[in-house]
Structure 1
Amino acid sequence: MIFQTFTEQQLRSFTEAVFLKMGCSDTHARLAADVLLKSDLRGIDSHGVARLSGYVRLWEKKRINSRPDIKIVHQTATTATVDGDAGLGLVVAPFAMELAIEKAKVYGSGWVSVRNSNHFGIAGYHSLMAVENDMIGISMTNASPLVAPTYSSERLLGTNPMCYAFPAGAYPPVVVDMATAAAANGKLEIAQRADLPIPEGWVQNKQGHSSTNAHELKNGGSLLPLGSDKDHGSHKGYGLGATVDILSAVLSGANYGPWVPPFVAFLEPPSDPVGEGIGHFLGAMRVDGFRPAAEFKTHLDNWIARFKSSGTIDPSKKVIIPGEPEYLSEQQRREKGIPLIDAVVKDLNELAQKLGSHTLS
């Protein structure tokens, strides 16, 4: 694969300009670009600027509202439901997390469900907003159905990621950010662009047999839940994905299960929706609602240090703390730049030319 490397500012300026061309406000364009850049900086290339053309195509299909009127439609002291007005999930989810944080500041915790939204980028971005306030952050979203539950040949769930983030002291935050499928669809897209096979256990074909073809979903196949198959604990991934779907959508009034609209513009949403848009669920809990924050951070540092010093089965390997690879990637890419494969650069430049925006250089 051939890569080109760009500075964070190059990609940030480019991405903001595209969102402005979509009609987003300056504030929303900056925020949406920030969410995508956070993904690229943290090495989650599948959810960064490579997704930009997908948002534009949905906007062109009038499935994304670039000027949403985001509203609280129901709330109590500690909970709320937000209607995203079909806006970018990249701006709707931060609105909801800010609301959860404000509630947590007063009452110790805040919980917000969201309906009528779109793809919200990496879950980690939203959970880390709470960490910045000495809170534990929780974020999750449902997604278009690509995953077959255990024993099923039908796509009924999305990759449905969930993230838990915890503030530490001397160490970076612990960030558990993962899809509840065996792999995120974005990883298949990366393999497709590079024309590479995918690992066994990620997908099944339409007959239910394991496949290493990165294009299998186009042939009627499906992603598998976390755990891969019935013999390797797929019921656990299925259960986690179901939990995300229920909290994000059944609770908020968004579409759930097979009714979640697709992220790709050439596929039409189901004609019999059971809700509005896709759904998210976000939460913030004040650490000092349980014990003094400094004490918690000291003990989380101790937890991290003990795990990092663990004996390993391979002397060349070390135990990795959740979020550590992404943190190290962010430090490195801020300094050395963000690599993009040529196929992504070509796609972005064609997008810019179509919109009359500046290209990457």
Structure 2
Amino acid sequence: MEFITFSEDTLRNFTENVFKKMGCSDEHAQLAADVLIKADLRGIDSHGVARLTGYVRLWEKKRINPTPNIRIVHETATTATVDGDAGLGLVVAPFAMKVAIEKAEKYGSGWVAVKNSNHFGIAGYHALMAVEKDMIGYALTNASPLVAPTFSSERMLGTNPICYAFPAGKFPPVIVDMATSTAANGKLEIAQRQGKNVPEGWIQDKDGNAALHPADLKNGGSLLPLGSDREHGSHKGFGLSATVDILSAVLSGASYGPWAPPFVAFMDPLPNQPGEGLGHFLGAMRVDGFRPIEDFKSNMDNWIERFKNAKPIDENQKVIIPGEPELEAEKDRKINGIPLIDAVVNDLNEVAGKLGLQSLK
């Protein structure tokens, strides 16, 4: 396994051109590429351009609409439901977050449920849109069923990420962005490409036994909820994942639980599924609806500083504030480029050849 490093601009241009070849408008191609590149810059390689081939394969199966009519289908002053028209979640979710932000600007908070969408990239991208407006951002999505609930061996839920983003003053925003499973599926895909086992407690085989090899997931196994097993608190991860699924899909009219459509093109959605496509839930809250923004930011800075200076177990490892590692990765990769493993580069070049585009060099 080797790493090949590319500049941000090289990957951005390549990704935009792939989306344009799929039939996306220039605006949508640029936005979709921005979401993926943001993941790579922040070191979340599982959700960056490594995912691009998956979107192409879904488009080839006509499960992604490159020219969607994204629209509000139900609305109150502070809430809305958006139909993504089977568009890229990378485009649909920012549309919904803009609606949430506009409502928050008028009424203090805005909440938008989304149906008929697809994989929306990193949740942090959408939550940070609210932070840019001095708001607290909230982003959830359900996903393909890969996770077994506590005491089960059946795949019933997705990795179902949850993200909160809080603005601060002199410090960067605090971003809590995590899967509600023990690990995101993309991390298993990376481990499989690298020929590595995964840590104990991430997955189980088809019979519910502990497993270490990523291939066990593809052979009918399942991811475990956050907490791993009942003795280590998996019921808490199950509860969080269920909350994401209900808010994202049951509330919006998207497909939920085991009926959520798979991200992989070789698997068809289950027949007679309730709801339409994947679902998201986006929220924005004005901080000044609770207290003056500068007072809040000042206290956030104090909160961050105090936690960063919490007494460490090891003097060489201080407390890490949520979002801090991703920010450090972004600073580094903007200067030194984005590393991709050769297997990902090969996949991208295969897609480029199929679409008549120049390969990555």
Distance 1:27 1:192 in 2: 34
Q: What is the CA distance between 1:153 and its match in structure 2?
A: 1.1
Distance 1:200 1:77 in 2: 47
Deviation digits for residues 28-54 of structure 1, max 9, x if unmatched? 000000000000000000000000000
Q: Which amino acid is 1:158 matched to?
A: G
Q: What is the CA distance between 1:357 and its match in structure 2?
A: 1.1
For structure 1, list consecutive stretches of 5 or more residues without a partner in the other structure.
none
Q: What is the CA distance between 1:359 and its match in structure 2?
A: 1.3
Q: What is the CA distance between 1:219 and its match in structure 2?
A: 1.2
Is residue 125 of structure 1 aligned with residue 125 of structure 2?
yes
Root-mean-square deviation (Å):
0.5
Distance 1:216 1:15 in 2: 31
Ranges of 4+ aligned residues in structure 1 off by more than 6 Å: none
Distance 2:351 2:126 in 1: 27
Q: Which amino acid is 2:192 matched to?
A: Q
> What SS does the aligned partner of 2:111 have?
strand
Tell me the equivalent position of 1:82: 82
Deviation digits for residues 168-189 of structure 1, max 9, x if unmatched? 1111100000000000000000
Q: Which amino acid is 1:118 matched to?
A: N
Tell me the equivalent position of 1:7: 7
Tell me the equivalent position of 1:138: 138
Q: Which amino acid is 2:178 matched to?
A: M
Q: Which amino acid is 1:358 matched to?
A: Q
Distance 2:48 2:127 in 1: 17
Q: Which amino acid is 1:262 matched to?
A: P
Tell me the equivalent position of 2:190: 190
> What SS does the aligned partner of 1:5 have?
strand
Q: What is the CA distance between 1:313 and its match in structure 2?
A: 1.1
Deviation digits for residues 198-234 of structure 1, max 9, x if unmatched? 0000000111111111111111110000000010000
Q: 1:100-115 residue pairs with structure 2 within 5 A?
A: 100-115=100-115
Q: Which amino acid is 1:49 matched to?
A: V
> What SS does the aligned partner of 2:318 have?
coil
Distance 1:34 1:93 in 2: 13
Tell me the equivalent position of 1:170: 170
Deviation digits for residues 263-311 of structure 1, max 9, x if unmatched? 0000010011100001000000001111111110010000000000111
> What SS does the aligned partner of 1:164 have?
strand
Distance 1:359 1:166 in 2: 39
Deviation digits for residues 71-110 of structure 1, max 9, x if unmatched? 1000000000000000000000000000000000000000
> What SS does the aligned partner of 2:237 have?
helix
Q: TM-score, length-normalised on structure 2? A: 0.99
Tell me the equivalent position of 2:230: 230
Distance 2:157 2:348 in 1: 29
Distance 1:71 1:358 in 2: 35
Distance 2:29 2:357 in 1: 14
For structure 2, list consecutive stretches of 5 or more residues without a partner in the other structure.
none
* Identity in percent: 73
Equivalences, count: 361
Q: What is the CA distance between 1:190 and its match in structure 2?
A: 0.2
Is residue 68 of structure 1 aligned with residue 68 of structure 2?
yes
